[in-house]
Chain A
Protein backbone atom coordinates (compact mmCIF):
# COMPACT_ATOMS: atom_id res chain seq x y z
CA UNK A 1 0.00 0.00 0.00
CA UNK A 2 1.59 3.18 -1.17
CA UNK A 3 0.66 6.45 0.40
CA UNK A 4 2.88 8.79 -1.56
CA UNK A 5 3.75 8.47 -5.19
CA UNK A 6 6.27 10.67 -6.89
CA UNK A 7 3.91 12.91 -8.83
CA UNK A 8 1.33 13.39 -6.12
CA UNK A 9 0.27 16.76 -4.83
CA UNK A 10 2.36 18.04 -1.96
CA UNK A 11 2.18 21.33 -0.17
CA UNK A 12 4.78 23.73 -1.51
CA UNK A 13 7.36 24.77 1.00
CA UNK A 14 7.52 28.51 1.43
CA UNK A 15 10.11 29.81 3.84
CA UNK A 16 8.83 32.42 6.27
CA UNK A 17 10.44 35.84 6.24
CA UNK A 18 10.50 39.02 8.32
CA UNK A 19 7.57 39.71 10.66
CA UNK A 20 6.35 42.66 8.56
CA UNK A 21 6.34 40.64 5.37
CA UNK A 22 4.66 37.84 7.23
CA UNK A 23 1.87 40.11 8.36
CA UNK A 24 1.36 41.45 4.84
CA UNK A 25 1.59 37.91 3.50
CA UNK A 26 -1.14 36.79 5.88
CA UNK A 27 -3.48 39.49 4.69
CA UNK A 28 -2.83 38.70 1.02
CA UNK A 29 -3.29 35.02 1.73
CA UNK A 30 -6.55 35.66 3.53
CA UNK A 31 -7.96 37.53 0.55
CA UNK A 32 -6.56 35.14 -2.02
CA UNK A 33 -8.40 32.21 -0.51
CA UNK A 34 -11.37 33.94 1.05
CA UNK A 35 -13.77 33.39 -1.81
CA UNK A 36 -12.86 29.75 -2.45
CA UNK A 37 -12.86 28.75 1.22
CA UNK A 38 -16.05 30.62 1.97
CA UNK A 39 -17.71 28.87 -0.94
CA UNK A 40 -16.54 25.53 0.43
CA UNK A 41 -17.90 26.25 3.89
CA UNK A 42 -21.15 27.58 2.47
CA UNK A 43 -21.47 24.39 0.46
CA UNK A 44 -21.07 22.38 3.63
CA UNK A 45 -23.83 24.29 5.34
CA UNK A 46 -26.16 24.12 2.39
CA UNK A 47 -25.62 20.36 2.35
CA UNK A 48 -26.85 20.32 5.93
CA UNK A 49 -30.12 21.83 4.81
CA UNK A 50 -30.36 19.32 2.01
CA UNK A 51 -29.73 16.35 4.28
CA UNK A 52 -31.90 17.72 7.06
CA UNK A 53 -34.76 19.48 5.34
CA UNK A 54 -36.71 19.66 8.63
CA UNK A 55 -34.46 22.55 9.61
CA UNK A 56 -36.11 24.54 6.84
CA UNK A 57 -39.52 23.83 8.30
CA UNK A 58 -39.84 27.08 10.21
CA UNK A 59 -38.54 29.10 7.28
CA UNK A 60 -41.17 27.59 5.04
CA UNK A 61 -44.09 27.32 7.45
CA UNK A 62 -43.32 30.50 9.37
CA UNK A 63 -44.62 33.00 6.82
CA UNK A 64 -47.74 30.95 6.21
CA UNK A 65 -48.55 30.82 9.88
CA UNK A 66 -47.71 34.39 10.71
CA UNK A 67 -49.47 35.85 7.71
CA UNK A 68 -52.54 33.79 8.47
CA UNK A 69 -52.45 34.59 12.15
CA UNK A 70 -51.94 38.31 11.83
CA UNK A 71 -54.08 38.83 8.80
CA UNK A 72 -57.09 36.79 9.84
CA UNK A 73 -56.87 36.52 13.61
CA UNK A 74 -55.49 39.92 14.55
CA UNK A 75 -56.20 41.71 11.31
CA UNK A 76 -59.85 42.28 12.09
CA UNK A 77 -59.04 43.90 15.40
CA UNK A 78 -55.90 45.75 14.41
CA UNK A 79 -56.86 46.79 10.90
CA UNK A 80 -60.38 48.00 11.70
CA UNK A 81 -60.97 51.64 10.77
CA UNK A 82 -57.51 52.31 9.40
CA UNK A 83 -56.61 53.88 6.10
CA UNK A 84 -54.66 50.87 4.82
CA UNK A 85 -55.33 47.33 3.87
CA UNK A 86 -53.86 45.35 6.79
CA UNK A 87 -52.31 42.58 4.69
CA UNK A 88 -50.45 45.18 2.60
CA UNK A 89 -49.23 46.74 5.82
CA UNK A 90 -48.29 43.41 7.35
CA UNK A 91 -46.26 41.65 4.65
CA UNK A 92 -42.96 43.59 4.87
CA UNK A 93 -42.96 43.08 8.63
CA UNK A 94 -43.54 39.34 8.44
CA UNK A 95 -40.92 39.18 5.70
CA UNK A 96 -38.30 40.78 7.90
CA UNK A 97 -39.28 38.80 10.97
CA UNK A 98 -39.22 35.44 9.29
CA UNK A 99 -35.92 36.17 7.62
CA UNK A 100 -34.42 37.28 10.89
CA UNK A 101 -35.34 33.92 12.36
CA UNK A 102 -33.76 32.18 9.39
CA UNK A 103 -30.46 34.03 9.50
CA UNK A 104 -30.31 33.80 13.26
CA UNK A 105 -29.55 30.12 12.71
CA UNK A 106 -26.07 31.23 11.72
CA UNK A 107 -24.97 31.66 15.30
CA UNK A 108 -26.62 28.47 16.50
CA UNK A 109 -24.70 26.49 13.89
CA UNK A 110 -21.42 28.20 14.68
CA UNK A 111 -21.88 27.65 18.39
CA UNK A 112 -22.60 23.98 17.90
CA UNK A 113 -19.51 23.62 15.69
CA UNK A 114 -17.45 25.25 18.40
CA UNK A 115 -19.00 23.03 21.02
CA UNK A 116 -18.25 19.85 19.13
CA UNK A 117 -14.59 20.75 18.67
CA UNK A 118 -15.09 20.93 14.94
CA UNK A 119 -13.44 24.22 14.73
CA UNK A 120 -10.14 22.73 15.88
CA UNK A 121 -9.91 20.99 12.57
CA UNK A 122 -10.63 24.14 10.58
CA UNK A 123 -8.21 26.16 12.60
CA UNK A 124 -5.43 23.68 11.96
CA UNK A 125 -6.00 23.93 8.21
CA UNK A 126 -4.35 26.55 6.02
CA UNK A 127 -7.70 28.05 5.10
CA UNK A 128 -8.76 31.68 5.20
CA UNK A 129 -9.85 32.24 8.77
CA UNK A 130 -12.87 34.37 8.00
CA UNK A 131 -14.29 31.59 5.86
CA UNK A 132 -15.66 29.52 8.73
CA UNK A 133 -18.01 32.31 9.76
CA UNK A 134 -18.39 33.66 6.25
CA UNK A 135 -19.51 30.32 4.90
CA UNK A 136 -22.32 30.00 7.39
CA UNK A 137 -23.36 33.60 6.99
CA UNK A 138 -23.54 33.19 3.23
CA UNK A 139 -25.47 29.93 3.42
CA UNK A 140 -28.17 31.24 5.76
CA UNK A 141 -28.39 34.53 3.88
CA UNK A 142 -28.90 32.69 0.63
CA UNK A 143 -31.69 30.61 2.13
CA UNK A 144 -33.31 33.68 3.60
CA UNK A 145 -33.10 35.53 0.29
CA UNK A 146 -34.85 32.71 -1.54
CA UNK A 147 -37.50 32.57 1.17
CA UNK A 148 -38.42 36.21 0.49
CA UNK A 149 -40.03 35.13 -2.77
CA UNK A 150 -41.83 32.30 -1.06
CA UNK A 151 -43.27 34.64 1.54
CA UNK A 152 -44.35 37.09 -1.14
CA UNK A 153 -46.09 34.31 -3.06
CA UNK A 154 -48.04 33.28 0.04
CA UNK A 155 -48.85 36.89 0.77
CA UNK A 156 -50.30 37.40 -2.68
CA UNK A 157 -52.41 34.32 -2.15
CA UNK A 158 -53.75 35.94 1.01
CA UNK A 159 -54.68 39.04 -0.95
CA UNK A 160 -51.64 41.29 -0.73
CA UNK A 161 -51.00 43.50 -3.78
CA UNK A 162 -48.13 45.81 -4.72
CA UNK A 163 -49.00 49.45 -5.21
CA UNK A 164 -45.50 50.88 -5.48
CA UNK A 165 -43.46 51.67 -8.58
CA UNK A 166 -41.89 48.80 -10.46
CA UNK A 167 -38.26 49.51 -9.60
CA UNK A 168 -38.71 49.80 -5.83
CA UNK A 169 -40.92 46.71 -5.86
CA UNK A 170 -38.25 44.74 -7.68
CA UNK A 171 -35.49 45.99 -5.40
CA UNK A 172 -37.37 45.33 -2.18
CA UNK A 173 -36.30 41.66 -1.81
CA UNK A 174 -32.73 42.77 -2.28
CA UNK A 175 -32.99 45.21 0.60
CA UNK A 176 -34.39 42.44 2.81
CA UNK A 177 -31.58 40.13 1.67
CA UNK A 178 -28.77 42.58 2.33
CA UNK A 179 -30.17 43.57 5.71
CA UNK A 180 -30.46 39.93 6.72
CA UNK A 181 -26.90 39.32 5.55
CA UNK A 182 -25.87 41.97 8.04
CA UNK A 183 -27.96 40.44 10.81
CA UNK A 184 -26.38 37.08 10.06
CA UNK A 185 -23.07 38.59 11.15
CA UNK A 186 -24.68 39.69 14.39
CA UNK A 187 -25.85 36.15 14.89
CA UNK A 188 -22.34 34.90 14.12
CA UNK A 189 -21.02 37.19 16.82
CA UNK A 190 -23.55 35.78 19.29
CA UNK A 191 -22.53 32.23 18.34
CA UNK A 192 -18.82 32.90 18.75
CA UNK A 193 -19.41 34.65 22.06
CA UNK A 194 -21.68 32.14 23.77
CA UNK A 195 -20.20 28.98 22.19
CA UNK A 196 -23.16 26.87 23.16
CA UNK A 197 -25.96 26.02 20.78
CA UNK A 198 -28.75 26.19 23.36
CA UNK A 199 -27.68 29.53 24.76
CA UNK A 200 -27.26 30.84 21.22
CA UNK A 201 -30.75 29.75 20.32
CA UNK A 202 -32.25 31.26 23.46
CA UNK A 203 -30.44 34.57 22.99
CA UNK A 204 -31.58 34.61 19.38
CA UNK A 205 -35.15 34.29 20.55
CA UNK A 206 -34.82 37.01 23.14
CA UNK A 207 -33.18 39.36 20.63
CA UNK A 208 -35.46 38.76 17.67
CA UNK A 209 -38.88 38.72 19.32
CA UNK A 210 -38.70 42.02 21.21
CA UNK A 211 -36.93 43.80 18.36
CA UNK A 212 -39.56 42.80 15.82
CA UNK A 213 -42.57 43.32 18.07
CA UNK A 214 -41.42 46.67 19.41
CA UNK A 215 -41.35 48.12 15.92
CA UNK A 216 -43.77 48.98 13.15
CA UNK A 217 -43.82 45.31 12.10
CA UNK A 218 -47.37 44.45 13.20
CA UNK A 219 -49.07 47.62 14.39
CA UNK A 220 -48.56 51.30 13.61
CA UNK A 221 -46.17 52.83 16.10
CA UNK A 222 -48.75 55.55 16.97
CA UNK A 223 -50.99 53.00 18.72
CA UNK A 224 -48.30 52.16 21.29
CA UNK A 225 -47.86 53.92 24.64
CA UNK A 226 -45.63 56.99 24.39
CA UNK A 227 -42.56 55.52 26.06
CA UNK A 228 -42.66 52.56 23.72
CA UNK A 229 -43.00 54.80 20.70
CA UNK A 230 -39.69 56.37 21.64
CA UNK A 231 -38.05 52.97 21.44
CA UNK A 232 -39.88 51.85 18.32
CA UNK A 233 -38.85 55.04 16.53
CA UNK A 234 -35.15 54.29 16.94
CA UNK A 235 -35.45 50.54 16.49
CA UNK A 236 -33.64 49.70 13.24
CA UNK A 237 -36.33 47.14 12.44
CA UNK A 238 -38.88 49.96 12.20
CA UNK A 239 -36.79 51.71 9.59
CA UNK A 240 -36.14 48.63 7.51
CA UNK A 241 -39.78 47.57 7.67
CA UNK A 242 -40.99 51.06 6.77
CA UNK A 243 -38.52 51.24 3.90
CA UNK A 244 -39.67 47.88 2.53
CA UNK A 245 -43.31 48.80 3.07
CA UNK A 246 -42.96 52.04 1.15
CA UNK A 247 -40.99 50.32 -1.59
CA UNK A 248 -43.80 47.81 -1.99
CA UNK A 249 -46.74 50.15 -1.50
CA UNK A 250 -45.40 53.54 -2.49
CA UNK A 251 -44.42 56.33 -0.12
CA UNK A 252 -41.35 58.31 0.86
CA UNK A 253 -38.16 56.28 0.84
CA UNK A 254 -35.25 58.58 1.37
CA UNK A 255 -35.12 59.04 5.15
CA UNK A 256 -35.72 55.33 5.84
CA UNK A 257 -33.16 54.38 3.19
CA UNK A 258 -30.35 56.38 4.76
CA UNK A 259 -30.91 54.97 8.22
CA UNK A 260 -31.26 51.46 6.89
CA UNK A 261 -28.04 51.87 4.90
CA UNK A 262 -26.32 53.03 8.05
CA UNK A 263 -27.45 49.97 10.01
CA UNK A 264 -26.53 47.61 7.21
CA UNK A 265 -23.05 49.13 6.99
CA UNK A 266 -22.65 48.93 10.75
CA UNK A 267 -23.73 45.29 10.84
CA UNK A 268 -21.62 44.11 7.93
CA UNK A 269 -18.49 46.13 8.55
CA UNK A 270 -18.57 46.71 12.30
CA UNK A 271 -20.21 43.60 13.65
CA UNK A 272 -18.73 41.40 10.89
CA UNK A 273 -15.23 42.50 11.80
CA UNK A 274 -15.89 42.06 15.48
CA UNK A 275 -17.23 38.54 14.92
CA UNK A 276 -14.24 37.55 12.80
CA UNK A 277 -11.88 39.01 15.33
CA UNK A 278 -13.56 37.15 18.21
CA UNK A 279 -13.39 33.95 16.23
CA UNK A 280 -9.67 34.35 15.67
CA UNK A 281 -9.05 34.95 19.30
CA UNK A 282 -10.65 31.70 20.36
CA UNK A 283 -8.17 29.29 21.81
Chain B
Protein backbone atom coordinates (compact mmCIF):
# COMPACT_ATOMS: atom_id res chain seq x y z
CA UNK B 1 0.00 0.00 0.00
CA UNK B 2 1.98 3.00 -1.11
CA UNK B 3 0.43 6.36 -1.72
CA UNK B 4 -3.30 6.72 -1.43
CA UNK B 5 -5.24 9.93 -0.98
CA UNK B 6 -6.85 10.55 2.35
CA UNK B 7 -10.34 9.24 2.85
CA UNK B 8 -12.90 11.46 1.21
CA UNK B 9 -16.16 12.14 2.93
CA UNK B 10 -19.36 13.51 1.54
CA UNK B 11 -19.53 17.20 2.08
CA UNK B 12 -21.85 20.05 1.43
CA UNK B 13 -21.41 22.16 -1.68
CA UNK B 14 -20.05 24.97 0.44
CA UNK B 15 -17.56 22.63 2.06
CA UNK B 16 -16.52 21.47 -1.41
CA UNK B 17 -15.89 25.01 -2.50
CA UNK B 18 -13.93 25.81 0.62
CA UNK B 19 -11.75 22.76 0.21
CA UNK B 20 -11.24 23.52 -3.50
CA UNK B 21 -9.95 26.94 -2.58
CA UNK B 22 -7.76 25.46 0.12
CA UNK B 23 -6.24 22.96 -2.31
CA UNK B 24 -5.80 25.64 -4.93
CA UNK B 25 -3.88 27.99 -2.70
CA UNK B 26 -1.89 25.32 -0.96
CA UNK B 27 -0.54 23.81 -4.14
CA UNK B 28 -0.50 26.84 -6.36
CA UNK B 29 3.10 27.74 -5.78
CA UNK B 30 4.54 24.24 -5.92
CA UNK B 31 2.53 23.33 -9.01
CA UNK B 32 3.37 26.58 -10.73
CA UNK B 33 7.03 25.88 -10.15
CA UNK B 34 6.69 22.47 -11.76
CA UNK B 35 4.90 23.92 -14.76
CA UNK B 36 7.46 26.69 -15.09
CA UNK B 37 10.18 24.12 -15.17
CA UNK B 38 8.37 22.13 -17.84
CA UNK B 39 7.96 25.20 -20.04
CA UNK B 40 11.58 26.21 -19.67
CA UNK B 41 12.66 22.70 -20.64
CA UNK B 42 10.82 23.31 -23.90
CA UNK B 43 13.41 25.94 -24.77
CA UNK B 44 16.26 23.63 -23.95
CA UNK B 45 14.86 20.70 -25.89
CA UNK B 46 14.03 22.68 -28.96
CA UNK B 47 17.05 24.73 -29.95
CA UNK B 48 15.15 26.33 -32.85
CA UNK B 49 12.81 27.99 -30.41
CA UNK B 50 15.72 29.22 -28.37
CA UNK B 51 17.63 30.55 -31.34
CA UNK B 52 14.52 32.13 -32.69
CA UNK B 53 13.77 33.96 -29.49
CA UNK B 54 17.33 35.19 -29.06
CA UNK B 55 18.77 35.59 -32.55
CA UNK B 56 15.89 37.42 -34.12
CA UNK B 57 15.82 40.24 -31.54
CA UNK B 58 19.54 40.69 -31.96
CA UNK B 59 19.11 40.76 -35.72
CA UNK B 60 16.45 43.46 -35.41
CA UNK B 61 18.70 45.64 -33.28
CA UNK B 62 21.25 45.57 -36.07
CA UNK B 63 18.72 46.11 -38.82
CA UNK B 64 16.93 49.00 -37.20
CA UNK B 65 20.04 50.67 -36.01
CA UNK B 66 22.02 50.52 -39.21
CA UNK B 67 19.26 50.58 -41.79
CA UNK B 68 16.94 53.16 -40.26
CA UNK B 69 19.37 54.89 -37.93
CA UNK B 70 20.55 57.18 -40.66
CA UNK B 71 17.11 58.03 -41.92
CA UNK B 72 15.18 58.59 -38.69
CA UNK B 73 15.90 61.87 -36.82
CA UNK B 74 15.68 61.49 -33.03
CA UNK B 75 16.69 64.90 -31.74
CA UNK B 76 19.35 64.89 -29.02
CA UNK B 77 19.53 61.14 -28.64
CA UNK B 78 21.64 58.77 -30.71
CA UNK B 79 19.34 56.45 -32.61
CA UNK B 80 20.67 53.39 -30.76
CA UNK B 81 19.94 55.05 -27.41
CA UNK B 82 16.49 55.91 -28.66
CA UNK B 83 15.92 52.47 -30.15
CA UNK B 84 16.97 50.12 -27.35
CA UNK B 85 14.08 50.69 -24.90
CA UNK B 86 11.61 50.44 -27.79
CA UNK B 87 12.98 47.25 -29.23
CA UNK B 88 13.28 45.73 -25.75
CA UNK B 89 9.60 46.28 -25.07
CA UNK B 90 8.63 45.04 -28.51
CA UNK B 91 10.70 41.88 -28.28
CA UNK B 92 9.56 40.94 -24.82
CA UNK B 93 5.94 41.47 -25.80
CA UNK B 94 6.39 39.19 -28.79
CA UNK B 95 8.09 36.63 -26.62
CA UNK B 96 5.20 36.88 -24.15
CA UNK B 97 2.84 35.83 -26.93
CA UNK B 98 4.50 32.41 -26.68
CA UNK B 99 2.48 31.96 -23.50
CA UNK B 100 -0.69 31.95 -25.51
CA UNK B 101 0.68 29.99 -28.45
CA UNK B 102 2.06 27.28 -26.17
CA UNK B 103 -1.14 27.12 -24.17
CA UNK B 104 -3.22 26.81 -27.33
CA UNK B 105 -0.89 24.09 -28.57
CA UNK B 106 -1.29 22.17 -25.33
CA UNK B 107 -5.04 22.54 -25.47
CA UNK B 108 -5.03 21.36 -29.06
CA UNK B 109 -2.90 18.32 -28.36
CA UNK B 110 -4.95 17.27 -25.39
CA UNK B 111 -1.97 17.78 -23.11
CA UNK B 112 -4.13 19.92 -20.89
CA UNK B 113 -6.60 17.08 -20.46
CA UNK B 114 -3.88 15.30 -18.59
CA UNK B 115 -3.13 18.24 -16.33
CA UNK B 116 -6.78 18.72 -15.71
CA UNK B 117 -7.12 15.13 -14.62
CA UNK B 118 -4.37 15.58 -12.04
CA UNK B 119 -5.09 16.92 -8.59
CA UNK B 120 -3.04 20.04 -9.24
CA UNK B 121 -3.92 23.69 -8.92
CA UNK B 122 -5.73 24.71 -12.06
CA UNK B 123 -4.13 28.10 -12.27
CA UNK B 124 -0.68 26.50 -12.28
CA UNK B 125 -0.88 25.55 -15.93
CA UNK B 126 -1.28 29.17 -16.91
CA UNK B 127 0.86 30.50 -14.11
CA UNK B 128 3.70 28.20 -15.07
CA UNK B 129 3.63 29.39 -18.64
CA UNK B 130 3.50 33.02 -17.69
CA UNK B 131 6.36 32.62 -15.23
CA UNK B 132 8.50 30.75 -17.76
CA UNK B 133 8.00 33.32 -20.48
CA UNK B 134 8.74 36.12 -18.05
CA UNK B 135 12.04 34.50 -17.15
CA UNK B 136 12.83 34.11 -20.82
CA UNK B 137 11.92 37.77 -21.38
CA UNK B 138 14.29 38.84 -18.63
CA UNK B 139 17.06 36.79 -20.14
CA UNK B 140 16.44 38.10 -23.65
CA UNK B 141 16.29 41.69 -22.39
CA UNK B 142 19.69 41.36 -20.71
CA UNK B 143 21.17 39.73 -23.80
CA UNK B 144 19.86 42.50 -26.01
CA UNK B 145 21.19 45.19 -23.72
CA UNK B 146 24.60 43.56 -23.92
CA UNK B 147 24.45 43.54 -27.71
CA UNK B 148 23.19 47.12 -27.76
CA UNK B 149 26.03 48.17 -25.51
CA UNK B 150 28.55 46.60 -27.86
CA UNK B 151 27.24 48.56 -30.83
CA UNK B 152 27.28 51.86 -29.01
CA UNK B 153 24.31 52.24 -26.70
CA UNK B 154 25.09 53.95 -23.39
CA UNK B 155 23.13 54.60 -20.19
CA UNK B 156 22.82 58.28 -19.43
CA UNK B 157 20.35 58.10 -16.57
CA UNK B 158 22.49 56.77 -13.75
CA UNK B 159 23.24 53.26 -12.52
CA UNK B 160 20.13 52.23 -10.60
CA UNK B 161 17.56 53.43 -13.13
CA UNK B 162 19.60 51.72 -15.86
CA UNK B 163 19.77 48.55 -13.79
CA UNK B 164 16.00 48.58 -13.46
CA UNK B 165 15.38 48.63 -17.22
CA UNK B 166 15.35 44.86 -17.94
CA UNK B 167 13.19 44.21 -14.86
CA UNK B 168 10.73 46.88 -15.78
CA UNK B 169 10.50 45.52 -19.33
CA UNK B 170 10.08 41.93 -18.12
CA UNK B 171 7.45 43.10 -15.64
CA UNK B 172 5.42 44.73 -18.39
CA UNK B 173 5.77 41.59 -20.51
CA UNK B 174 4.58 39.58 -17.50
CA UNK B 175 1.38 41.60 -17.46
CA UNK B 176 0.92 41.12 -21.17
CA UNK B 177 1.45 37.36 -20.85
CA UNK B 178 -1.95 37.20 -19.20
CA UNK B 179 -3.51 38.79 -22.25
CA UNK B 180 -1.71 36.24 -24.40
CA UNK B 181 -2.89 33.43 -22.12
CA UNK B 182 -6.43 34.70 -22.48
CA UNK B 183 -6.14 34.66 -26.27
CA UNK B 184 -4.58 31.19 -26.21
CA UNK B 185 -7.28 29.79 -23.94
CA UNK B 186 -9.97 31.30 -26.15
CA UNK B 187 -8.61 30.33 -29.57
CA UNK B 188 -7.28 26.86 -28.71
CA UNK B 189 -5.40 26.47 -31.94
CA UNK B 190 -1.71 27.22 -32.01
CA UNK B 191 -1.55 28.73 -35.48
CA UNK B 192 -4.73 30.69 -35.00
CA UNK B 193 -3.55 32.03 -31.66
CA UNK B 194 -0.15 32.84 -33.15
CA UNK B 195 -1.49 34.91 -35.99
CA UNK B 196 -4.16 36.62 -33.91
CA UNK B 197 -1.51 37.57 -31.38
CA UNK B 198 0.69 38.91 -34.13
CA UNK B 199 -2.11 41.17 -35.30
CA UNK B 200 -2.55 42.47 -31.77
CA UNK B 201 1.08 43.03 -30.86
CA UNK B 202 2.24 44.32 -34.20
CA UNK B 203 0.09 47.49 -34.32
CA UNK B 204 0.47 48.20 -30.61
CA UNK B 205 4.23 48.07 -30.74
CA UNK B 206 4.68 49.94 -33.98
CA UNK B 207 2.04 52.58 -33.35
CA UNK B 208 4.02 53.69 -30.34
CA UNK B 209 7.13 55.66 -29.58
CA UNK B 210 9.21 52.47 -29.90
CA UNK B 211 10.93 53.18 -33.21
CA UNK B 212 10.21 56.74 -34.26
CA UNK B 213 9.36 59.88 -32.28
CA UNK B 214 5.60 60.25 -32.00
CA UNK B 215 5.84 63.83 -33.33
CA UNK B 216 6.86 62.60 -36.79
CA UNK B 217 3.66 60.60 -37.20
CA UNK B 218 0.59 62.04 -38.90
CA UNK B 219 -1.67 64.04 -36.56
CA UNK B 220 -4.57 61.58 -36.70
CA UNK B 221 -2.34 58.78 -35.47
CA UNK B 222 -1.01 60.69 -32.49
CA UNK B 223 -4.05 60.39 -30.20
CA UNK B 224 -3.75 56.63 -30.41
CA UNK B 225 0.00 56.49 -30.02
CA UNK B 226 -0.06 58.72 -26.98
CA UNK B 227 -2.56 56.59 -25.03
CA UNK B 228 -1.07 53.30 -26.22
CA UNK B 229 0.27 51.49 -23.12
CA UNK B 230 3.32 50.47 -25.12
CA UNK B 231 4.23 54.15 -25.55
CA UNK B 232 4.21 54.62 -21.77
CA UNK B 233 6.30 51.55 -21.21
CA UNK B 234 8.81 52.57 -23.87
CA UNK B 235 8.99 56.10 -22.59
CA UNK B 236 9.54 54.80 -19.10
CA UNK B 237 12.35 52.58 -20.35
CA UNK B 238 13.84 55.53 -22.18
CA UNK B 239 13.60 57.77 -19.12
CA UNK B 240 15.24 55.11 -16.95
CA UNK B 241 18.10 54.51 -19.35
CA UNK B 242 18.61 58.00 -20.74
CA UNK B 243 17.29 60.27 -18.00
CA UNK B 244 13.99 62.12 -18.14
CA UNK B 245 10.53 62.04 -16.64
CA UNK B 246 10.20 58.78 -14.76
CA UNK B 247 7.19 59.13 -12.49
CA UNK B 248 4.71 60.39 -15.10
CA UNK B 249 5.43 57.36 -17.26
CA UNK B 250 5.72 54.92 -14.37
CA UNK B 251 2.14 55.33 -13.14
CA UNK B 252 0.38 54.45 -16.40
CA UNK B 253 2.77 51.56 -17.05
CA UNK B 254 2.16 50.15 -13.60
CA UNK B 255 -1.57 50.64 -13.95
CA UNK B 256 -1.71 48.73 -17.23
CA UNK B 257 0.43 45.95 -15.83
CA UNK B 258 -1.82 45.60 -12.79
CA UNK B 259 -4.90 45.71 -14.99
CA UNK B 260 -3.56 42.92 -17.19
CA UNK B 261 -2.51 40.81 -14.22
CA UNK B 262 -5.47 41.20 -11.92
CA UNK B 263 -8.32 41.66 -14.37
CA UNK B 264 -7.34 39.86 -17.57
CA UNK B 265 -5.40 37.20 -15.64
CA UNK B 266 -8.37 35.85 -13.67
CA UNK B 267 -10.51 35.98 -16.80
CA UNK B 268 -7.90 33.90 -18.62
CA UNK B 269 -7.84 31.34 -15.82
CA UNK B 270 -11.62 31.25 -15.89
CA UNK B 271 -11.64 30.69 -19.67
CA UNK B 272 -9.12 27.95 -19.33
CA UNK B 273 -11.11 26.18 -16.64
CA UNK B 274 -14.24 26.27 -18.71
CA UNK B 275 -12.57 24.34 -21.54
> What is A's interface to B at a CB cutoff of 8 Å?
54, 57-58, 61, 65, 69, 72-74, 76-78, 80, 198-199, 202, 205-206, 209-210, 213-214, 218-220, 223-225, 228
5 contacting pairs across A/B (C-beta < 8 A): A65-B199, A77-B72, A78-B68, A205-B52, A225-B70
Q: A205-B56, A209-B63 are in contact. Are A223 and B48 (CB under 8 A)?
A: no
**Which chain B residues border A78 with CB–CB below 8 Å?**
68, 71-72
Q: A69-B206, A209-B59, A210-B63 are in contact. Are A218 and B218 (CB under 8 A)?
A: no
B195 at the interface (CB under 8 A from A): yes
* CA of A78 to CA of B66, assembled, Å: 13
Check if B66 sits within 8 Å of A225, measured CB to CB: yes
**Which chain B residues border A72 with CB–CB below 8 Å?**
217-218, 221
Among the interface residues B71, B72, B217, which one has the most CB atoms of the partner chain A within 10 A?
B71
Minimum C-beta distance from A218 to chain B (A): 7
Minimum C-beta distance from B194 to chain A (A): 10
Q: Of B51, B70, B203, B213, which contacts A202 at CB under 8 A?
A: B51
**Which chain B residues border A223 with CB–CB below 8 Å?**
70-71
Given contacts A205-B52, A228-B66, 13 further A-B contacts (CB under 8 A): A65-B202, A69-B202, A72-B217, A72-B218, A74-B212, A77-B71, A77-B213, A78-B71, A209-B59, A209-B63, A214-B63, A219-B67, A224-B67
Among the interface residues B59, B68, B207, which one has the most CB atoms of the partner chain A within 10 A?
B68
> What is B's interface to A at a CB cutoff of 8 Å?
48, 51-52, 55-56, 59, 63, 66-73, 191-192, 195, 199, 202-203, 206-207, 211-213, 216-218, 221
**Which chain A residues border B56 with CB–CB below 8 Å?**
205-206, 209
* CA of A205 to CA of B56, assembled, Å: 9
**Which chain B residues border A69 with CB–CB below 8 Å?**
202, 206
Check if B71 sits within 8 Å of A219, measured CB to CB: yes
Check if A219 sits within 8 Å of B48, measured CB to CB: no
**Which chain B residues border A57 with CB–CB below 8 Å?**
195
